[in-house]
Amino acid sequence: MSRVRGAQQVDGFERSARFWLRAYPVRWRAVRGDELIGVLRDLAAPDATHLPLREGLGLLRAGWATRWRDGPPLGTRLKYRWLELPIPPRYREWARDDIDGRWFVTRRFLRPLAPILVAIWGVPIAIGGPPIDAVPALAVVVVGLPFALRFDLLRPQHDYLRAAAATRNLLPRAGEPPTPGGFGQAWGPRPRLTARVGTILAGTGLALGAVMWTTTALIAPRGLALAGCQPEPGANSCFTIDPGPWDPQEWAAVAVIAVIVGLGLAGLAMRRTARLLGDRPAQPARVLVSRAPRVVGALVLLVPLAGWQAWLEATGRWVVLVSPWAAAICLLMLPGALVAARVARRGPSDLALVDLWQIGVHGRAPRVDPWVVAVVRVPPAAAAPSGPDAPTGDGTAIAT
Amino acid sequence: MALSEQTYLVLLALADEPRHGYGVVQEVRTLSDDRVKLGAGTLYGILDRLVAAGQAEVSNEVVVEGRLRRYYRLTPGGRAVVEAHTAELAALARRARRVLARPAFGGV
């Protein structure tokens, strides 16, 4: 069985070989990948349909060795990764692969979380202390969240992180001339999430959150109770916060108020939308992005994590603490999100999520997005910086 | 750069003419009397290091039956390295022959 990759037929052998080749750095594959696959074909039996496992493991070992040899030494890596110091110029190509990589954001978020995880879980185990009940669940959340972020749930934040890292590491330093084939800055359009995908994400997430956390807040057996105590000599008062029975009635009043306020805000947003939606300006410096598969992937990962947390509180394993407030926030925002989803579905197709936010929340017509500066590779023929009149660079912007 | 046996054999394989990756693998097998069979990962690790050290370079590229073949050749620096190492091995072999030619005394 074969399929088309670009203009070429790709058979099972090549797919298998390219899978193992992913052990090599992106730049290495771009230059040598086809050549190496040719050698692998020459070495393989004429009727081979897959790369032999032994050869694949050899590529895995050699690929990671190449990654290590190709990149900066350990000290430079640690300074780049943990202290966010600029990478030395000779490692800029390595840094570009890193910043452009699929796992960049995950690595970025794992960095501060790893020592926290070690501290709360590893240290008790290391000193032989009792295990902490909540730690395994917390560990899953702590580790799972960055992996969920890989699906670009927080796309603007991702863009910011990548753009900041690219600006810090890739651009020529003061006094350093731009090099053809190196990196420079150019103006480009700003990517914005479409209103349809954004409101579906927000509406689905808020609806699921409202159901899960409201149910938890209503049935949870254990909460925190404020109790008076005997003050010590010289003290005016004394109180303690201890686990105790959870009374959902007071919270129910808060929930009702949240729903009423949410409905009122949704009505306000609806009137604003009717008034201002037609005043949207043209957006020449904007490109709409969908990212629907990534959004679904993020929901698939995050909802079970949130569900687990709700279950721990609902069954009394954890004191109910997060669910009542999370439920109130969901109930407050859900009506507005549903209004936004309805407008996005029936409104113009070029509507961005940020447009609805500016209209519904701020009560003003959407602003015109400005051109943004992106880090791009300097074309060999034109090393001079470009301006808004020539905003495209070479189409290889890392982030905007 | 210290020369491993595999690296030395790759340098030798490139000594008489430019060769592509598969050609190097075949020549190394011949030179080692079918004892050293280079995998593709090992071969390209060695070629990367030789090119980075300025001992080998790309000479040309051709496409044969849809497969990209990039030919490599030794640089003058690479040729000097392989000649020096060959001379060291030859001197070692001569010394080894002299040692082995002496009568063995004693024993345990």
Nearest CA in chain A to B20: A39
Listed by start position, the domains of chain A span 1-70, 193-288+315-370
Residue A154: is its pLDDT beyond 80? no
User: Hey, are the CB atoms on B25 and A39 less than 8 Å from each other?
Assistant: yes
Residue A360: is its pLDDT beyond 50? yes
Nearest CA in chain A to B21: A39
Where residue A40 falls among pLDDT bands split at 50, 70, 90?
very high
Q: What angle do CA B40, B46, B49 make, to 5 degrees?
A: 140
The residue written with tokens 């060291």 in the block is: B88
- For residues B67 and A39, give the distance between their C-alpha atoms in angstroms, rounded to a whole number: 8
pLDDT at residue A388, rounded to an integer:
47
What is the model's pTM?
0.59
- For residues A267 and A256, give the distance between their C-alpha atoms in angstroms, rounded to a whole number: 17
Q: Are A398 and A100 in contact (CB under 8 A)?
A: yes
Residue A225, Cβ density class (10 Å: 0-12 exposed, 13-18 middle, ≥19 buried): middle
Chain A interface includes B70 (CB < 8 A): yes
Check if CATH label 1.10.10.10 holds for domain B5-100.
yes
User: Hey, are the CB atoms on A62 and B21 less than 8 Å from each other?
Assistant: no
User: Which residues of chain A neighbour B7 with C-beta distances below 8 Å?
Assistant: none
Where residue A150 falls among pLDDT bands split at 50, 70, 90?
low
ipTM of this complex:
0.86
Mean pLDDT, residues A388-395 taken together: 42
Distance from CA of B63 to the nearest CA of A (A): 10
Residue A382: is its pLDDT beyond 80? no
Q: Identify the residue among A20, A35, A53, A66 best suited for mutation to test binding to B, counting B beta carbons within 10 A and taking the highest.
A: A35
Listed by start position, the domains of chain B span 5-100
Distance from CA of B79 to the nearest CA of A (A): 24
Question: Of A147, A188, A27, A206, whose CA–CA distance to A99 is shortest?
Answer: A27
Which structure tokens are listed for A258? 């949240």
Which structure tokens are listed for A236? 């005016």
- For residues A115 and A52, give the distance between their C-alpha atoms in angstroms, rounded to a whole number: 39
